[in-house]
Amino acid sequence: MSTPTVTTGPLRRVPVQGRSVARVQRMLDACAELVDEVGYEGLTTTLLAERAEVAIGSVYQFFPDKRAIVQALAMRNMDAYLQDLSTRFGRETFAHWWDGVDAGIDAYISMHRSVPGFRTLHFGDVVDVHLLDAERDNNAVIAERLAELLVDQFQLMDRVRLRFALQIAVEAADALINLAFRRDPVGDEAVLVEAKALIREYLHRHVDA
């Protein structure tokens, strides 16, 4: 397993030494646990320091506030999602590019089920719809990165049209997956099946690739 990376975006200071990197990862792990337990509003830097077993000064050494910590966690989640998707693309053979989108939905569902904090935080919408990027909303960032993976994997053309369709698909899938996990803590399978069928049908009809 590769060593987790620490995104530099919201960090006040980038950790260099191994101990500092590990300390920041503990803070992000603690943040993930706490947002599931108390939500973003209940999260405090004091609680986070206690859970991560670090001094409060260590938190502020790397992060200016709790929003920056959650932003770093959201970015780590995005990196993990894209890495998982790249791995799936590398080991599986897809009959068509929208099967790759199917894999993207599966990866997103898997993170809801297995990654602490993800079901609460997603890619940061609970805090700010522009948490990943100041200019684009979080789902638009994910749709853009998914488009890049699909174009690279399947040598697709007409990227503007593709990216627009994927943004619609990502928004729809996000809403339906959230519904599935509101109905059932592990995801209502009937809703998830319908979500995948809806997205597949939409892409099949609206993007001629």
* Closest alpha carbon to 77 in 40, 41, 120: 120
Query: b/e for 148-161, b at 16 or more Cβ within 10 A?
Result: ebbbeebebeeeee
Which pLDDT does position 3 carry in this prediction?
A: 39
How far, in Å, CA of 10 to CA of 7, rounded?
A: 8
Which pLDDT does position 193 carry in this prediction?
A: 96
For the domain made up of 18-206, the CATH class stated in words is: mainly alpha
Domain boundaries, the chain: 18-206
- 0.75 surpassed by pTM: yes
Task: Report, as ranges of residue numbers, the positions in the chain whose pLDDT lies below 50.
Answer: 1-8, 209
Which pLDDT does position 154 carry in this prediction?
A: 84
Contact residues for 185 (Cβ-Cβ < 8 A; gap 6+): none
Which pLDDT does position 17 carry in this prediction?
A: 65
